[in-house]
Chain A
Amino acid sequence: MVMDSADKAIVNRLQQGFPICDSPFRRVAEELGLTESDLLARVQAMLDEGVLSRFGPMYHAEQMGGALTLAALKVPEPRFDEVAEIVNAFPEVAHNYARNHSLNMWFVLATENPEQISAVIGQIEAATGLTVYNMPKISEYYVGLQLEA
C-alpha cells in the first residue's frame, strides 16, 4: 500500500501512545486535523494491509510476572542452520537474528518466570553443545517515537 502524508502522521502519532477516554479516536483525529471516521478507516486499512501488525497495549513483562532476556551464541558457520533449527524449536525463543559478528546468533527468551530463563539456557546449551551468553537488561532508556513513517 502507498502511505500518504496523513497515514504517516497517524503512524508517528500512534507510536507515542493512545488516549484512554471515551472517544480516543476523535481526540487523536482532532490533533491530526482529520475526521474521526477518516482516522478509523485509515487505521483499519493499515491493519488490513499489514503496515501495522497490532494496535493495543504493550505489557510490561516483568511486572506481569514474566521474564525476558537477550542471549547470544558463537556458532561455527558450518553448523549455523542446524543450530538455528534447534534454537528456534524452543517455544521460549521469541526473536532470533543472525548478525555479522563471531557472536553470530542473537535471540530473545521470554518465559513465565525468572527462574525459567536459566533453565532454558541450560537446555539450549545441552542441545547445541555451545555456550549461551546471557545478556539481561540492566537499564532501559525510554525512546518515544520508534520508527518515523
Chain B
Amino acid sequence: MIEAVDQHLISAVQAGLPIAARPYAVIGERLGLSEQEVIERLARLRAQGLIKRWGVVVKHRQLGYRANAMIVMDVPDDRVGDVGALLSQQACVNLCYQRPRQGEVWPYNLYCMIHGKSREVVLEQWAELRHACALTAYGYEVLFSRRCFKQRGALYSLRAESSKSAQSVTGQAQPGQAVFEMHSG
C-alpha cells in the first residue's frame, strides 16, 4: 500500500519534472510539502524501486535512429542469465529481456532491442555482437519493425485510500512517451 502523500507526489511528477533550478521546491509548493520532504520521499520511492529510473524519454527517431530491431535468441535455460547480463552491457543494446518460449511456434527465450541509424548498421552491430559475446551457437532471428501503429505510455494515476494501488488512465500520453519502460520497439 502506497501512502497517500506519496501517491499525490507520484501523480504530481507524472507529466514530468519542472525545468527549474529548484524543481523539487516547485513540486512541494503545489502539494503543500517542503522541498526537503519532497526530496526525501522521492529518494525513498527510488530506493524502494517504485521509481525504476529517473531520466528522460528520448524520441529515438528524432535522434536519427530509424531502424528498430527486436533480436530473439534460443539460449539454453542454464545460460540465459549470463548471456542476458552480458548483452545488456553492450553499448548498442537498448533493452534486454528473458521471455517464455511458445513451443514449436516460437523457440526463442532471450530478446534484445537494437536501435540503429539504418538496417545495415544494425545488422553489422548484431554480427559483431554475436562473435564478441560468443553467441554463434544459438539460433536467432532479427525482426525489424515495418510500421509503428501505436506508441504511447501507460499513464497511471493513483487513487488514495483504495485497495487497488494503481489505476491506469489511457490515451493521455503523447506519441513516443513511455512512463513505464515497456518498449516493444
List residues of chain A with CB under 8 Å of any chain B CB.
3, 11, 14-18, 20-26, 36, 40, 43-44, 47, 50-61, 63-66, 68, 70, 72, 84, 87-88, 91-101, 103, 106-108, 110-113, 133, 135-143, 145-149
CB pair A138 B99 closer than 8 Å: yes
Chain A residues whose CB sits within 8 angstroms of the CB of B158 once the complex forms: 64
Chain B residues whose CB sits within 8 angstroms of the CB of A50 once the complex forms: 59, 62
Q: Which of A23, A43, A53, A87 contacts B19 (CB 8 A)?
A: A43
Digit string of B131-147 for contact with A (CB within 8 Å is 1, else 0)?
A: 00000000001011111
Chain A residues whose CB sits within 8 angstroms of the CB of B50 once the complex forms: 59-60, 63-64
Measured CB to CB, the nearest residue on chain A to B83 is A141
Q: What are 14 A-B pairs with beta-carbon distances under 8 A?
A: A24-B23, A24-B24, A25-B20, A26-B21, A36-B21, A50-B59, A54-B153, A54-B174, A56-B16, A63-B48, A101-B141, A106-B184, A108-B183, A139-B98
Chain B residues whose CB sits within 8 angstroms of the CB of A141 once the complex forms: 84-85, 87-88, 96-98
Q: Which of B13, B97, B171, B176 contacts A53 (CB 8 A)?
A: B176
Bound state CA distance, A137 and B174, in angstroms? 25
Bound state CA distance, A111 and B156, in angstroms? 10
Bound state CA distance, A60 and B25, in angstroms? 24
Binding site of B, secondary structure by majority: helix, strand, loop or mixed?
Answer: mixed
Chain B residues whose CB sits within 8 angstroms of the CB of A143 once the complex forms: 88, 93-96
Chain A residues whose CB sits within 8 angstroms of the CB of B93 once the complex forms: 143
CB pair B58 A147 closer than 8 Å: yes
CB pair B152 A14 closer than 8 Å: no
Q: Which of B20, B42, B53, B115 contacts A58 (CB 8 A)?
A: B53
With A59-B10, A66-B154, A112-B167 already in contact, the answer to whether A96 and B148 are too (CB < 8 A) is yes
Chain A residues whose CB sits within 8 angstroms of the CB of B141 once the complex forms: 101
CB pair B22 A100 closer than 8 Å: no
Closest 10 CB pairs of A and B: A110-B154, A141-B88, A65-B165, A91-B170, A141-B96, A56-B16, A65-B166, A141-B84, A139-B98, A54-B57
Tally B residues with Cβ within 8 Å of A: 94
CB pair B97 A140 closer than 8 Å: yes
Chain A residues whose CB sits within 8 angstroms of the CB of B80 once the complex forms: 139
With A70-B184, A139-B97 already in contact, the answer to whether A53 and B177 are too (CB < 8 A) is yes
Digit string of B35-70 for contact with A (CB within 8 Å is 1, else 0)?
A: 110010011011011111111111110110100101
CB pair B16 A54 closer than 8 Å: yes
Bound state CA distance, A55 and B85, in angstroms? 27
Q: Most chain-B Cβ atoms within 10 A of its Cβ — which of A84, A95, A149?
A: A95
CB pair B56 A99 closer than 8 Å: no
CB pair B16 A55 closer than 8 Å: yes
Q: Which of A11, A14, A110, A136 contacts B99 (CB 8 A)?
A: A136
CB pair B145 A97 closer than 8 Å: yes
With A23-B22, A57-B51, A65-B164 already in contact, the answer to whether A51 and B149 are too (CB < 8 A) is no
Digit string of B162-184 for contact with A (CB within 8 Å is 1, else 0)?
A: 00111110110011111111111
Measured CB to CB, the nearest residue on chain B to A91 is B170
CB pair A110 B16 closer than 8 Å: no
